[in-house]
Amino acid sequence: MSDEFATLAQSPLTPSEHAFAVTPDDVVALPTIPKYLYVGTGGSIALRTKDASADVSFLNVPDGGYLYVRAEFVRASGTTATDIVACA
């Protein structure tokens, strides 16, 4: 299959090329820092962004919502949203 965009560099503004399911964990970091998170079933998400020194909570994220943050961790404690997909 040809890829007309194969020679273009990736940036935070280009579409993601890799997606993976997120299992919230209080200790284990995400395997790759994504460009954004897709939230299938809404709720709260506790996370720590890349290079941050403290966690932050996003409350009342709707079903089918997007969080345009570069999360290093998605914490189990404080996260009630489910069906989270990271897009890197």
Asked whether residue 19 is domain-assigned, the answer is no
pLDDT score for 12: 74
Asked whether residue 10 is domain-assigned, the answer is no
pLDDT score for 8: 73
pLDDT score for 34: 96
Residues 6+ apart with CB under 8 A from 8: 14
pLDDT score for 2: 83
Asked whether residue 42 is domain-assigned, the answer is yes
Those residues of the chain that have pLDDT short of 70 are: none
pLDDT score for 28: 98
Count how many domains the chain has.
1
Asked whether residue 21 is domain-assigned, the answer is no
Name the residue range of residue 49's domain: 26-87
Asked whether residue 71 is domain-assigned, the answer is yes
Asked whether residue 79 is domain-assigned, the answer is yes
What does the alpha-carbon distance between residue 83 and residue 80 come to, in Å, rounded to a whole number?
Answer: 10
pLDDT score for 4: 77
